[in-house]
Structure 1
Amino acid sequence: MTPKQLRDACLALTGAGEEFPFDESNSVFKVAGKMFAISRLDGTPLRVSLKCDPDFAVQLRMTYPAITAGYHLNKRHWNTVVLDGSVPDDLVLDLIEDSYDLVVAKLPRREREKLQWRGVRERG
């Protein structure tokens, strides 16, 4: 996955935007003012930190060496994924959507309705 593909995947989600609250190098992707992805898009290797269900986060870390506890984030709820090709792109895309869904699910109903959000999809 390239930096452009990562940015495009994050921004393709309804209501998502990109901000730079920390510095000009770290892209923070938010929905309704809440973070769901963070990446230094010019970093080598490319990495993205994503919110994750705590139990699933542990399972992912045990399965993929490129997935570790969130760097400088709550390690229970965030994973950092090194995008070196060892984690399938389809899984990375699913993890981005899962992160977005976890954030949107916690928003007030009025905010969810503005996004026309349909709820967390089942993992299958």
Structure 2
Amino acid sequence: MDVETMLAHCLGKPGAWPDNPWGHEHPVVKVGPGEQGKIFAFLGAAGVGVKGGPTREVADEWIDRFPEDASVMRYIGRSGWNDLTFGGAIPDEELLEAVDESYRLVVSKLPKKSRPAGWDG
């Protein structure tokens, strides 16, 4: 897995769009309209940050399974966000599934009028 492949996967989701609010090398990917859009993936050269579960306890399953390649995200980790590393023990398919689940969790919290057409919640 690499950042370009992951970005393409993220942008393939209904209503997904890239944003770069902090001027980093790689964008975050949001869903939802404009200023109300919510991040579902933080892209980086070495991995992706995702909503790992609805609670910290659920998100910790990633850390239990992949202690070398999954970690609690700084600042927002208490809310269930994890950093997952590319090219390590986490299979590419599971990285893609983690992004899919992050997308689902984030979209399900959007107001119904802001949810994109075509999402399969």
TM-score (norm 1): 0.84
State the shift of 1:117 in Å.
2.6
Deviations 1:67-100 (A, max 9, x none): 1101342333100001123100110010000000
**Residue in 2 aligned with 1:14?**
14
Q: Kindly indicate whether structure 1 or structure 2 has the higher relative contact order, using CA contacts under 8 Å at least 6 residues apart.
A: 2
Percent identity over the alignment? 30
**Residue in 1 aligned with 2:77?**
74
Could you tell me which runs of 5 or more consecutive residues in structure 1 were left unpaired when the two chains were aligned.
120-124
Whole-angstrom distance in 1 between the partners of 2:73 and 2:29: 15
Which of the residues 51, 56, 59 maps onto 1:57? 59
Whole-angstrom distance in 1 between the partners of 2:112 and 2:117: 10
State the shift of 1:24 in Å.
4.0
TM-score (norm 2): 0.86
Could you tell me which runs of 5 or more consecutive residues in structure 2 were left unpaired when the two chains were aligned.
none
3-state SS, counterpart of residue 95 of structure 1 = helix
3-state SS, counterpart of residue 81 of structure 1 = strand
Which of the residues 24, 34, 38 maps onto 2:38? 34
1:110 aligns with 2:119: no
Whole-angstrom distance in 2 between the partners of 1:91 and 1:56: 15
